[in-house]
Amino acid sequence: MGGRFTLGQLAEALQATLDGDPTVVVTGVAPLEAAGPEHVSFLTDPRYRAAAQASRAAAILVSHDVEDLGRVTLRCKAPRESLIDLLTLFHPPAMVPPGIDPRAVVAAEARVHPTASVGPFAVVGPGAVIGARARLHALVSVAPGAEIGADSVLYEHVVVRERVRVGRRVIVHPGAVIGADGFGFVADTGRPRKIPQVGGVLIEDDVEIGANTCIDRGTLGDTVIRAGVKLDNLVQIGHNVEVGENALMAAQVGISGSSRIGRGAVLGGQVGVGDHLTVGDGARVGAQSGVAQDVPPGEKQFGYPARPTIQALRIFHAEEQLPALLRRVRALERRVAELEAERGGEGEAGRGHD
């Protein structure tokens, strides 16, 4: 819809309880500090309670357990989820008319669903399949035989190579490359020789792939991204990797070939995972960590190399004490040298007396 809503309409749409006048009209969503009387704002972290009380917003989206805020509120069970719905109401996805732009290049052998849209200068190769309501924006390239599932969106400059299958409701942001050759070479004779990369990539449903992210094809078999996975910008997924359902990876994560990332695992920014390793289901790896051995399911690790978080923090704390410890060691060495010199002098004096 977008545009203007009464608080009563929002309460109904969000299945929220309104503590205030249902006829008040609002026109947008804004942060607590920037909101005016025409906005709805939100309190999803109790640390910002004072800011919510001082906000000029017409109403504050809160959870059911927030009390005595002294403001008009929209109370809901899961405020973060409701915030997504609220933002979608005010900022609905742009409608793209179906059809193939006359400036696109679509092979006669390609199958493009009548409800799909193909933007200007996009290229769809022979045998490629574009599903219902899929949207290919300008300059997207879909190679021969590749498949794009229903309701998926590929933004500008996305490249989908051969033997790639993209599921339903997948979002691929600009510049991502899916299905490039994996990094595989043999140098037994001293000269690196390329291993043919003849596998593919399988992207399951409801995956989101960030800008300039790269997912390499398998050497043999598929690189697999399971349903619900969310990849940030500039992520590198090597050949024959499997990423489990609903895993999350922040920017600049790199996964080496043939590794396994478990269901619901979370990798912070710039985490590196070595080849043929397993990060277990539900594991958490902190930013800039280097994973050099398997991470057990549910474990939290951090550091370079990655260790269990408590152990890593103890090591970091010990490292902070190294300068003082070094000074103490040097002072002790000087004192030991002084004592040895004194004992040596006493020995010389005794021999002279004899």
Q: Is 48 exposed, middle or buried (0-12, 13-18, 19+ CB in 10 A)?
A: middle
Q: CB atoms < 10 A from the CB of 263, how many?
A: 18
Beta bridge partners of 280: none
Q: What is the dihedral of CA 50, 52, 53, 56, to 10 degrees?
A: 140
Q: Give 241-260 as a DSSP string.
A: -EE-TT-EE-TT-EE-TT-E
Instruction: Give the three-state DSSP class for 145.
Output: coil
Q: What does the block give as tokens for 304?
A: 């370079």
d(CA 25, CA 193): 67
CB neighbour list of residue 172: distance below 8 Å, 6 or more residues apart: 152, 153, 154, 155, 158, 166, 178, 208, 209
What is the Cα gyration radius of the chain?
30
Q: What does the block give as tokens for 352?
A: 């002279």
d(CA 302, CA 292): 12
The answer to whether residue 239 is catalytic is yes
Q: Are 170 and 188 in contact (CB under 8 A)?
A: no
Alpha helices in the chain (DSSP H): 7-14, 49-54, 79-90, 309-320, 322-353
Catalytic entry in 91, 239, 276, 317? 239
Cis preceding-peptide flag for 79 (omega within 30 of 0) = no
Q: Give 113-133 as a DSSP string.
A: -TT-EE-TT-EE-TT-EE-TT
Active centre residues (catalytic):
239
